Structure 1
Amino acid sequence: MTFKPFTDYLLLEKNYSALTVNAYQSDLKAFSKYIKTEFDDDSIDHVNYAQIRNWIVSLVESGISNRSINRKISSLNTYYKFLLKVGDIQLNPLAKHRALKTSKKIQVPFSETEVQNVLSDFNFGTDFESLRNKLIIELFYSTGIRRIELVELEVARFDIENKTLKVLGKRNKERTIPLIPSVIQTCKSYLKARNKLEKIVDSDKLFLTQKGVKIYEILVYRIINEYFSLASSKVKRSPHILRHSFATHLLNQGADLNAVKELLGHSSLAATQVYTHNSIAELKKVHINAHPRSKK
């Protein structure tokens, strides 16, 4: 069966990325295949919760994680909400469904010392790749942008005069992030080196490879992992951990949660609050060291 009206709705009305829409479509096709095989039904539009529950059980038995199963069911739920919206069904079969329990993944940020060791003590050099890599690290840590946002950054979005950066985030929502002086300086140096490349294919993109084409996500991950392996013993050294460090360090220094939310491009405070556990630990430390009765 085709899901084109639904995918058009996600793309055009909800402004979901093509990658996200493809993931939704893949989940719906997988469920459709299951319904056809198990119940000889060619459509998933009018299934009942018992049928969906059977699919969930089969996914659990196949060894798929609860987190992945919840994502698949979320795709189904979004689809049925769409069918309700357009009047194709009168009842969402997932209306009373409760998500499977998942273990919370604790993201351990880099310490301020670890970040400073990379940015201050490492000799980056003045060649194109060294300046590019330094700017990538500085941007992640000073703006908290996502990896895909960094990959898609355009030169025109860097306003050096006003010291700001415009970032196009999830659902094409734009936000403006202030830039600190060190980032401005590194950006100027990088742009000079970038302009000296023999060939520039993707001229609108800020970050390029040596061949002049847009940088790609795996390379960005490798850059962060390589540099931070020299300064940190943490198992996970990724762009997301740098984003996590940005938020945690701001909160540790007393930044307002709502301000951090806006900088990160989160749609709700709930998404930002996952970064507060470290700042609470810092507050506890300050409280114990400073409170007059803590030594009694």
Structure 2
Amino acid sequence: MHQALPPALREAVDDFAEHLSRVRNRSTHTVRAYVTDLVSLFDHAVRMGCVDLAELDLSVLRSWLARLRTTGAARTSLARRAASARAFCAWAHRAGLLSADVGAALASPRAHRELPSVLRADQAAALVDGPTRRVTPTDNPPAADLPNTHGAPTNPATTGRAAGATSGEAAVPLRDRVLLELLYATGVRVSEACGLDVGDVDHGRRVIRVLGKGGRERSVPYGVPAQRALDDWLHRGRPAMVGTHSGDALLLGARGGRLNPTTARQIVGAYAEAAGLPRTSPHGLRHSAATHLLEGGADLRAVQELLGHSSLASTQIYTHVSVERLRAAYRQAHPRA
């Protein structure tokens, strides 16, 4: 669809994508999302007879959103696409491609924010401790093998070397353990965890250096259990899995390359299923970490900095989670509830 656009519109999309990537330092995923939204907008504009960027106006933007709404687009999708249109129009106006910022007056539906589901502290502990549980030959481990990078399976309940297992296979549970520990201990995003290098770990101060959204760097502390998991992985696990393509990556896949976020999500999901927990993702562990910090008395601003939120409003949703959990406990336990 991108190639089918008129040259002027296609060039505008490409220039904006380059601006997002080089100037705004947005991730490849973010740039791709913006481009997808703009291609959809311009495809609609062409259908309305708008073949030049100068012909873009507020009525075109509004009719585009209206058409998306009639096709069943969710409020969150409409809000995101409207934000993409506003960002593009503001850039195009500054770049002299539009005589006015036609997107400034574009309203969008307020996205309905559902409260994130979180694990209880004991459930989170059961999940994180999954790789450390040992089984004997007479035990009955879960039937489903844990998906690994490039399809190499490992059983979530096994930590020691199984009969005939290679040293790399025995190291996988150590990798899984440090992944789970870091996700819950620090609340980092899965992409941030997978992007860590060995040099990003400060063992003396027990902090990791994280490169977050927009290229923003922050330091996040972790606790003693995560330190133990890191020590085991770096001394016994990583050397067994390291390969020619490992580079400085902290977490490795089965073939020695950097662990990718998709595999990390599969790992978390498999351990959650093995522990009999609700369906859980790395983002669920991030939600749980933030909620448990606030329930333990952590300052909201401190949690914002730990999570790497640019806006405090993003962090405040976890205060609502804590209140809802308190209300649920009250309704269940208080005789006058």
Q: TM-score, normalised by structure 2?
A: 0.79
TM-superposition CA deviations, 1:69-116 (whole Å, max 9, x none): 221221111011112223433432232222124433221101101012
Q: Does 1:42 align with 2:20?
A: no
Cα shift at 1:283: 5.7
Contact 2:189 2:286 in 1 (8 A): yes
Match of 1:26 among 29, 36, 41: 36
Contact 1:169 1:175 in 2 (8 A): yes
Contact 1:114 1:232 in 2 (8 A): no
Cα shift at 1:45: 4.1
Q: 1:227 corresponds to which residue?
A: 271
Pairwise mapping of residues 68-87 of structure 1 onto structure 2 (< 5 A)?
68-87=77-96
- The gaps in structure 1 that reach 5 residues or longer are 289-293
SS at match of 2:283: helix
Q: 1:179 corresponds to which residue?
A: 222
Q: 2:159 corresponds to which residue?
A: 125
Match of 1:271 among 314, 326, 330: 314
SS at match of 1:167: strand
Q: 1:284/1:254 Cα in 2 relative to 1: closer, same or farther (>3 Å)?
A: farther
CA distance in 1 between partners of 2:255 and 2:95 (Å):
48
Q: 1:165/1:55 Cα in 2 relative to 1: closer, same or farther (>3 Å)?
A: same
Percent same amino acid among aligned pairs?
Answer: 28
CA distance in 1 between partners of 2:184 and 2:253 (Å):
21
Match of 1:113 among 122, 141, 148: 122
Q: 1:100/1:285 Cα in 2 relative to 1: closer, same or farther (>3 Å)?
A: closer
Match of 1:12 among 16, 22, 27: 22
Pairwise mapping of residues 43-58 of structure 1 onto structure 2 (< 5 A)?
43-58=52-67
Cα shift at 1:218: 1.4
Q: 2:257 corresponds to which residue?
A: 213
Q: 1:138 corresponds to which residue?
A: 181
Contact 2:53 2:97 in 1 (8 A): no
Cα shift at 1:216: 1.3
Contact 1:35 1:44 in 2 (8 A): no
Contact 1:200 1:211 in 2 (8 A): no
Q: 2:136 corresponds to which residue?
A: none
CA distance in 1 between partners of 2:73 and 2:326 (Å):
38
- The gaps in structure 2 that reach 5 residues or longer are 1-8, 134-157, 161-169
CA distance in 1 between partners of 2:208 and 2:330 (Å):
36
CA distance in 1 between partners of 2:86 and 2:210 (Å):
30
Contact 2:53 2:98 in 1 (8 A): no
CA distance in 2 between partners of 1:84 and 1:252 (Å):
46
Q: Does 1:249 align with 2:282?
A: no
Q: 1:96 corresponds to which residue?
A: 105
